[in-house]
Structure 1
Amino acid sequence: MVFGQSYHIYNHANGSENIFREDENYRFFLQQYAKYLGDVVDT
């Protein structure tokens, strides 16, 4: 990641296929996001 740059996180793959097929997949992603990026990025 580069300071001052914007990044977008998507919840769909190409077309309309969901990346997070189940709620627990999304919760896992959010936990990992908080663990690794919570103190580094501003969301």
Structure 2
Amino acid sequence: MSTSREPFEFESFYHVFNHARGKDNLFESEKDYPVFMGLVSKYIVDIADIYA
């Protein structure tokens, strides 16, 4: 599977999602939730609005 590396355009909407492989769980334990939210805070919150 190919992944696009083109930069996002300003003032545009994107559907960005996260999923596990096959039937694997995305979060293996409760400790994974704050790790994920920390990464969202570090890389996403300052540059994008999250609607859902």
- Above 0.5 in TM-score? yes
Runs of 4+ in 1 over 3 A off after TM superposition: none
Task: State the TM-score, normalized to the length of structure 2.
Answer: 0.58
Q: Give the length in aligned residue pairs.
A: 42
Larger-Rg structure: 2
Structure ranking higher on relative contact order (CA contacts 8 Å, 6+ apart): 1
More helix by share: 1
Task: State the TM-score, normalized to the length of structure 1.
Answer: 0.65
Q: Identify unmatched segments of 5+ residues in structure 1.
A: none
Q: Identify unmatched segments of 5+ residues in structure 2.
A: 1-6
Query: How large is the RMSD of aligned CA atoms in angstroms?
Result: 1.8
